[in-house]
Amino acid sequence: MSQSSRIFDDIGRVMNEAAGVADGVRREVETAVKSQAQRFVADMDLVKREDFDALRELVQVQGEEIDALRQELAVLTAKPKTK
């Protein structure tokens, strides 16, 4: 009985060590994949979301200003000239 208990203890220890090694390998792979993904994204020269949102807001404001100026120009050019 003692011999089979020792075998099960050894098997349990080997399995725990294998699980630890597998977890270490998993972390290494995750780190490598994350690093590669970050490098890939950096090489693509993508714009940050905050920069995109700020530029979109600026363009929207400028579009509204252009529309207002067009309306003002239309009013000014529609007035008859007096002599």
Q: With bands split at pLDDT 50, 70 and 90, how would you rate the model's confidence at 3?
A: confident
Domain count for the chain, please give it: 2
Find where tokens 């007096």 sit.
82
Residue 41 reports pLDDT greater than 80:
yes
41 and 53 inside one domain:
no
Residue 83 reports pLDDT greater than 90:
no
20 and 2 inside one domain:
yes
pLDDT of 82 = 64
53 and 37 inside one domain:
no
pLDDT of 1 = 57
62 and 78 inside one domain:
yes
> Domain span at residue 8?
1-45
pLDDT of 79 = 76
Q: What is the dihedral of CA 71, 74, 80, 83, to 10 degrees?
A: 90
